[in-house]
Amino acid sequence: MIKIWNMKKAEGSGPKKPKTSAAQIRVQKDVTELELPRTMKMDWPDANDLLNFFLTISPDEGMYKGGSFKFSFAINSNYPHEPPKVKCVPKIYHPNVDLEGNVCLNILREDWKPVLNLNSVMVGLQYLFLEPNADDPLNKEAAQDLRSNRQNFIRNVNRSMAGGSVNGETFDRVLKDAE
Amino acid sequence: MSMATQQTQDWPGRYYHIDQILDKPGPRTDPDAFVGGDTARDFLRNQCKVLVIGAGGLGCELLPNLALSGFRDIHVIDMDTIDVSNLNRQFLFREKDVGRPKAIAAAEFVMKRVPGVTVTPFFGKIQDKDEEFYKQFHIIISGLDSVEARRWINATLVGMVDEDDPESLKPLIDGGTEGFKGHSRVILPTMTACIECTLDMLTKPTVFPICTIANTPRQPEHCIEWASVLEWPRVFGDAKKLDNDDPEHITWLYEQASKRAAEFSIEGVTWSLTQGVVKNIIPAIASTNAIVAASSVNEALKLATNAAPPLQNYMMLVGTDGVYSFTFEHERKPECPVCGGETVNMTVNKDMTVQELIEHLQETQNIQIKKPSLSTSSTSIYMQAPPVLERATRPNLEKKLSELVPSGTEITVTASTLPLKLSLRLTYS
């Protein structure tokens, strides 16, 4: 007979019945304890499904000030072993975001660790708007523009945010008053 | 031995070596737990029911090891069928078995070679089975290749533990290998560190920075990742999801990756590398499997017979430079989302509202949770923050609990004052 059964009897700690997945519990904990800055807004298409939501970032300084950028978050049951899947919803002109909405942020891929949480990702995304990084480009033209002529890049950002075209590519209007 | 005797029952001296450790205690045997002789033999051979999860590289070693150690009621579950590439290390399978379910072929092979052993196969996913199924076993041994499946069986076994029924605690022996490295560990759900407690230390899959993939590929792997991570969703959108097990999908990726590799003068993109990268395949080594499986079955034998104390509780094996192994004790994590946190049973009036429950949780002496957020696996009952979720769940405050949560359903309570969560099980009066 298996000895631990007797040990268990003596110990008698409470039963644990986790019907809710570990990923769900982590997300509930992450989300309800977030202290969102004024520049961030979250919304859930379905409040009963915490694992899928949108985050809108409206930078209040930097080159992207005045714009409002919506990201979709999809968290699977393997969170936090796997990072959340994040995409930028509108088509934007940014060195680290491509035209399909893929985002180049290290902690969303190669530097993700289970000890990180949603807050780390959100802060990371906000940082991309304050300091676009021309060294790790996803949109090569935008990165090239930023490197070669900062003033011109800022003009392009403003034109793109208003729904105009840059380098022959038309972008979505993301100005805050547009909402 | 001739075929004729193989088909019959036990051959003379079959259990001679195993009986050496079952009949009398050894130097490290716990005298209070060990009852040698017939009792130990009888439990091992006639009562003990063991489940093997996975009939792949590890499973094909675990099954014969168990059968030859004297376990006679063995069950095996696996969702895969045999691929020709398995035959170099999954020694229970032959060329004629290609395409057959692994669990069934493995069970047949072991029963044919080890008379008197019953191996019951199940061809399907572990998630297809419920607690009733897992309850029937005394010991569960896993030889899995995915983190997700490990987390699932771990959470299921932890959830099955009932304090009034010691036998509801099922020891889980988890084996794993990755190339020349491996581990075996013993998990006593709710008593020792579980898979979730130690999630932070798992090897993570190799991923490349997305900017490298997009702009500066240097390796064939970068081209393959480009095809699967960027090109596939760009071309097919949401309409067609990439299926790593579909050869046609792999072929498409291979073709795209090859074109890109040519563009950047990178050599080495092949079909099998493409498959390897997207499925994150690490070459498996037969001898690593053999070592880890031997250790796992050794633990099963010790648990079933008390002939020696079990592993405390994690053995790692590194075979990359020489052969190194180290054993240490993983500690439980108080804030583990699976085995940590208390469960509180509460009987409440069937007319109690969500608001009243929250007040009750805040005021009750031994609970006193500030600003609790409450949910079940399918419903957000009330979320304190962020404001948009609070607004969306606020109408529930007025509702009766009994309308939102069936009796006995577990409610997950989180709050900043809790390490992670509290589980609440309500019954209505």
Q: Identify which of B151, B373, B379 has the shortest CB distance to residue A22.
A: B151
Closest residue in A to B376 (Cα) is: A20
Task: Examine residue B334 and state whether it is found in any structural domain, yes or no.
Answer: no
pLDDT at residue number B6: 43
pLDDT at residue number B3: 44
pLDDT in tens, B369-378: 888 999 998 8
- Check CB contact under 8 Å for A16 and B190: yes
Which CATH number covers residue B367?
3.10.290.20
| B178 and B115 both lie in a single domain | yes
Task: Examine residue B359 and state whether it is found in any structural domain, yes or no.
Answer: yes
Q: What does the CA dihedral B320, B322, B323, B327 come to, rounded to 10 degrees?
A: -80
| Cα–Cα distance, B271 to B249 (Å, whole number) | 11
Output A17 or B198, whichever has higher pLDDT. Answer: B198
Closest residue in A to B167 (Cα) is: A5
| B84 and B149 both lie in a single domain | yes
Respond yes or no on whether the N-terminal peptide bond of residue A95 is cis (omega within 30° of 0).
Answer: no
Q: Beta B73-78 vs B49-53: how paired, if at all? A: parallel
Closest CA of chain B from A20, distance in Å:
4
Kindly state whether B416 is in contact with chain A, defined as any CB-CB distance less than 8 angstroms. yes
| B185 and B319 both lie in a single domain | yes
Closest CA of chain B from A152, distance in Å:
23
The conformational region for residue B189 under phi > 0 = left, psi -120 to 50 = alpha, else beta, is beta
Decide if B197 is catalytic. no
Please give the interface size between A and B, counted as residue pairs whose CB atoms are below 8 Å apart.
188
Mean pLDDT of A66-92: 94
Q: Identify which of A7, A36, A80 has the shortest CB distance to residue B386.
A: A36
- Check CB contact under 8 Å for A20 and B420: no
Question: Strand pairing partners for B373?
Answer: B414
Taking alpha carbons only, the member of A2, A146, A29 closest to residue B337 is A29
pLDDT at residue number A121: 96
Residue spans per domain, chain A: 19-178
Dmax (CA) of chain A:
78
Residue that has been written with the tokens 């020349």 in this structure: B180
Task: Examine residue B216 and state whether it is found in any structural domain, yes or no.
Answer: yes
Which residue is catalytic, options B48, B60, B194, B211? Answer: B211
Whether residue B357 contacts residue B348, with contact meaning beta carbons closer than 8 Å, is answered with yes
Question: Best residue in B45, B169, B211, B313 to probe A by mutation, most A CBs within 10 Å?
Answer: B211
Share of chain B above pLDDT 70, in %: 98
H helix intervals, chain A: 4-11, 22-32, 118-130, 140-148, 150-161
Q: Identify which of B190, B199, B410 has the shortest CB distance to residue A114.
A: B199
Q: Beta B422-428 vs B172-178: how paired, if at all? A: unpaired
pLDDT at residue number B7: 44
pLDDT at residue number B238: 80
Residue numbers in chain B where pLDDT is lower than 50: 1-8
| B290 and B168 both lie in a single domain | yes
pLDDT at residue number B9: 65
Whether residue A60 contacts residue A38, with contact meaning beta carbons closer than 8 Å, is answered with yes
| Phi, psi (degrees; rounded to nearest 5) at B315 | -115, 120
- Check CB contact under 8 Å for A31 and B383: yes
pLDDT at residue number B113: 93
Q: Identify which of A12, A25, A114 has the shortest CB distance to residue B200.
A: A114
Architecture of domain A19-178: Roll (3.10)
pLDDT at residue number A7: 67
Could you tell me the pLDDT band of residue A13, with boundaries at 50, 70 and 90? very low
Q: Which structural domain range is residue B420 located in?
A: 344-428
pLDDT in tens, B31-84: 888 888 888 899 999 999 999 999 999 999 999 999 999 999 999 999 999 999
Task: Examine residue B166 and state whether it is found in any structural domain, yes or no.
Answer: yes
Mean pLDDT of A49-71: 96
H helix intervals, B229-323: 232-236, 247-263, 271-278, 286-305
- Check CB contact under 8 Å for B420 and A29: yes
DSSP secondary-structure letter at B126?
A: G
Kindly state whether A132 is in contact with chain B, defined as any CB-CB distance less than 8 angstroms. no
Kindly state whether B342 is in contact with chain A, defined as any CB-CB distance less than 8 angstroms. yes
Mean pLDDT of A40-55: 95
| Cα–Cα distance, A56 to A130 (Å, whole number) | 15
Taking alpha carbons only, the member of B118, B186, B184 closest to residue B317 is B184
Which CATH number covers residue B140?
3.40.50.720
